[in-house]
Amino acid sequence: MRPIRAINAFLVAAVLVSMAASPATPKQDPKNLKGAVRVDGSSTVYLIAEAVAEEFSKVAPGVNVTVGLSGTGGGFKRFSNGEIDISNASRCIKQPEIDACKSHKIEFIELPVAFDGLTIVTNKGNTWAKQLTMAQVKKIFASSETAKTWKDVDPSWPSDVIKVYSPGTDSGTFDYFKEVTVGKEGKIRADISVSEDDNVIVRSIEGDKNAIGFFGYAYFAENQGKLNAVPVINPKTGAAVTPSPTTIEDASYAPFSRPLFIYVNKASLAKPAVAAYAAFALDNGAKLAAEVGYIKLPTVIYERAKANLAASKLGTQMLDENGMERMGILADIYK
* DSSP labels, 209-269: TTEEEEE-HHHHHHTTTTEEEPPEE-TTT--EE---HHHHHTT-STTTEEEEEEEEEGGGG
In a domain, 139, yes or no: yes
Q: What burial class does residue 102 get, using C-beta atoms within 10 Å of its C-beta: 0-12 exposed, 13-18 middle, 19+ buried?
A: exposed
Domain boundary among 228, 249, 270: 249
| Residue at 62: amino acid letter | G
Domain boundary among 215, 231, 249: 249
Same domain, 90 and 133: no
Per-residue pLDDT at 12 exceeds 80: no
> Model confidence over 71-100: pLDDT tens digits?
899 999 999 999 999 999 999 999 999 999
Same domain, 127 and 239: yes
Residues 6+ away with beta carbon under 8 Å from 208: 123, 163
In a domain, 52, yes or no: yes
What is the pLDDT, as a whole number, of residue 169?
87
Domain that holds residue 90: 9-116+259-333
Between residues 46 and 171, the one the model is more confident about: 46
CATH number of the domain enclosing 328: 3.40.190.10
Bridge partners for 229 per DSSP: 121
Percentage with pLDDT > 90 across the chain: 69
Same domain, 237 and 139: yes
Per-residue pLDDT at 11 exceeds 50: no
Residue 158 has what DSSP assignment? -
- Report the C-alpha gap between 63 and 38 in whole angstroms: 11
Q: Which of 16-20, 70-74, 248-252, 328-332 shows the lowest per-residue confidence on average (mean pLDDT)?
A: 16-20
Same domain, 150 and 210: yes
pLDDT band at 23 (very low <50, low <70, confident <90, very high): low
Same domain, 239 and 204: yes
Same domain, 239 and 134: yes
Residue 83 has what DSSP assignment? -
In a domain, 190, yes or no: yes
Domain boundary among 249, 273, 306: 249
What total number of domains does the chain contain?
A: 2
- Report the C-alpha gap between 241 and 254 in whole angstroms: 8
In a domain, 207, yes or no: yes
- Cα distances from 213 to residues 18, 87, 96, 152, 320, in angstroms, run 39, 25, 28, 17, 31
Same domain, 132 and 239: yes
Same domain, 188 and 226: yes
Per-residue pLDDT at 3 exceeds 50: no
Same domain, 97 and 151: no
What is the pLDDT, as a whole number, of residue 185?
84
Percentage with pLDDT > 70 across the chain: 92
> Model confidence over 90-133: pLDDT tens digits?
999 999 999 999 999 999 999 999 999 999 999 999 999 999 99
In a domain, 254, yes or no: no
- Report the C-alpha gap between 15 and 51 in whole angstroms: 15
Q: What is the mean pLDDT of the chain?
A: 89
Per-residue pLDDT at 293 exceeds 60: yes
